[in-house]
Chain A
Amino acid sequence: MATLPLPTNAPATLQRLDGYRAEQAAKRLRTLLFAAATLLACLLAAWMGEVDLAKFVENFHKFPNYILGITPQLRWATLGEDFAEWYWGWKRWGRLLIDTVLIAYAGTLLGLVGGLMLCFTASANLTARRWLVLGARRLLEIQRSVPELVYALIFVVAFGLGPFPGMLAIAIHTTGALGKLFAEVNENIDLKPVDGIYATGASWFQAMRFAVLPQVMSNYVSYTLLRFEINVRGAAVLGFVGAGGIGQELLGAIRQFYLPDVSAILLMIVLTVAVIDIFTERLRHALIGMDART
């Protein structure tokens, strides 16, 4: 080792190594500071959030007990009867579940219309007036930043209890979410097909129909279907504030400790959401496939 002659540029290399070490040390210090800040924030949050580990440990046994409590008693010998007892309210729950899906559907569709109306104004490449673009964007932002449930609470006061205010709440929130996504799609379109269509003597509407729509359509549909999935989940809890759907029934079951009902309703919700997820995913893929063919 010691006999190895140092290369002629050794001082420069060593200097660079020193630089590397210094950089590594600085990086390590930054990481440590970040970790310390996170820890501090956690402690502060634990204090604010009334985290009580003693209470947690003392009461934790209630959690597995609860899970056991909501698990239905299904015996192999009397499976049919047990199942019928577990799902004693299936007619009512099924109807409410259909309500839930319809709330999500109508809300998504209304939100889609709202999003379509606002997204062109919110795209900088389609609207020349800067203040209009910014105004539309702020409007969309407010619509999607206020949680659905807050809209639902207010609409329940204005329109009365029931699924209708829930649908409106979802529509407003969806308008904000889809409008923003659509505007982003619009801003990324290729303007050459538009020029091409104009060159054949097309009108503005024909240009939009044959040059813009084919570019954005699949994205619009895809985003709308995704939003529909999200909205079904959202609609399932709207009933917590009296805005229709299965949520009210679930809230009642949890509050009044009808434990097997809780699992029955939860399972129905989860299965419905899963089926809708699979269905919309298929639809999305089919549409993308159609795009690829044409």
Chain B
Amino acid sequence: MSAPSTGALRTSALANAAAIAARHADVFSPPLAQRLLGPAVVALVLGLFAYSLVVLGFTFERVWNGLERLGYILGYMLPPDPGKHFWKYFHALGETVAIALLGTLLGAVMAVPLALLAAKNIIPNRLFHFGWRRGLDFLRAIDVLIWALIWINVVGLGPFAGILAIAMSDTGGFAKLFSEAIEAADRKPVEGVTAAGGGAPHGIRFGILPQILPIMISQVLYYIESNTRSATIIGIVGAGGIGLHLSDTIRLNEWQNVSFLIVMILVTVAIIDWMSTRLRFAIIGRRA
């Protein structure tokens, strides 16, 4: 790690250090305000952090006792063991995957017409574009768990509410992404199709669709990955899947079951990630 300590440039630079500093005053002695900016930001960040800790009920005693209890809990978790409930958990896991898959696909299907309306090159009205986009943002801003609670009121407890919840919150996200893909599509292939004698439907089918379909499918796959994670917790509010068992076993202090459920979730998420990555590569090639 030691650096060379000899060299003509270094020697001459050190000899003229004062002159160089005077010539480049902006680098060597910046104004006071600029120098204070860094420490001020750090002080602000740390001050707000200390304030947060006070507001959030931090005490050393609480942390110490909590860590001790956490240690016990981790001890009780080993080894992971489903007890007699393996098939029940397995079924719930199937529900979770079903929720993620169907919710995502339903969201994607609903998003297509909304995306067409949100694309600037289809409806070139600025005011409409802005309003529509904000509406889609609103769908997205409401958490999946909140949508789940609302849909439980409509279709009752169970995975169906979970599917609808995921579909609802994904619709906004998909519509935004799809409309961006439509806006970014190149018009030249359509001209090519027209030049070869194709009509407007041909232009969409052979000029536009091949450009946006791979993007759409890859986004759907990506969302299925992330929704599998969401679907594991959606059961906590009663909308189906493995989350219900997770929160039940935690409340009942059945820690070996808890750790087994967590391991099941991790394995499932890893498998879905792997599958969707493979599928993405197969559909759009190695580049994305």
- Residues of A at the B interface (CB closer than 8 Å) are 38, 41-42, 44-46, 48-52, 55-56, 59-60, 62-63, 66, 98-99, 102-103, 105-106, 109, 142, 145-147, 149-150, 153-155, 157-160, 162-165, 167, 198-204, 233, 236-237, 240-241, 244, 250-251, 254-255, 266, 269-270, 273-274
Q: Are A52 and B247 in contact (CB under 8 A)?
A: no
Question: Known interface pairs A102-B52, A159-B62, A237-B146. Does A147 touch B232 (Cβ–Cβ under 8 Å)?
Answer: yes
The residue that A49 contacts in the complex, of B62, B162, B265, with Cβ under 8 A, is B162
Of the A-B pairs whose beta carbons lie under 8 Å apart in the complex, a sample of 12, sorted by A's number, is A56-B160, A102-B52, A145-B229, A147-B233, A153-B236, A155-B70, A159-B65, A159-B70, A202-B3, A237-B143, A241-B236, A254-B153
17 additional A-B pairs beyond A49-B102, A59-B156, A66-B150, beta carbons within 8 Å, are A42-B102, A45-B101, A48-B94, A48-B95, A49-B98, A49-B160, A63-B151, A105-B48, A106-B49, A146-B265, A147-B230, A147-B232, A153-B250, A154-B73, A157-B250, A159-B66, A199-B4
Whether, in the assembled complex, B57 has its beta carbon less than 8 Å from a beta carbon of chain A, the answer is yes
Min distance, Cβ B33 to any Cβ of chain A, angstroms: 14
Q: How far is the CB of B253 from chain A (nearest CB, A)?
A: 8
Interface residue B207 (Cβ < 8 Å from any Cβ of A): no
B16 close to chain A: CB less than 8 A: no
| B88 contacts the other chain (CB 8 A) | no
Judging by beta carbons under 8 Å apart, are A142 and B266 in contact? yes
Interface size class of B (residues with CB under 8 A): 35 or more
> 0/1 per residue, B117-157, Cβ < 8 Å to A?
00000000000000000000110011101100111011110
Q: Which residue numbers of B lie inside 8 Å of A, CB to CB?
A: 1, 3-5, 10, 45, 48-49, 51-53, 55-58, 62-63, 65-67, 69-70, 73, 94-95, 97-99, 101-102, 105, 137-138, 141-143, 145-146, 149-151, 153-156, 158-160, 162-163, 229-230, 232-233, 236-237, 240, 243, 246-247, 250, 253, 258, 262, 265-266, 269-270
- Chain A residues with CB below 8 A from B258, complex form: 154
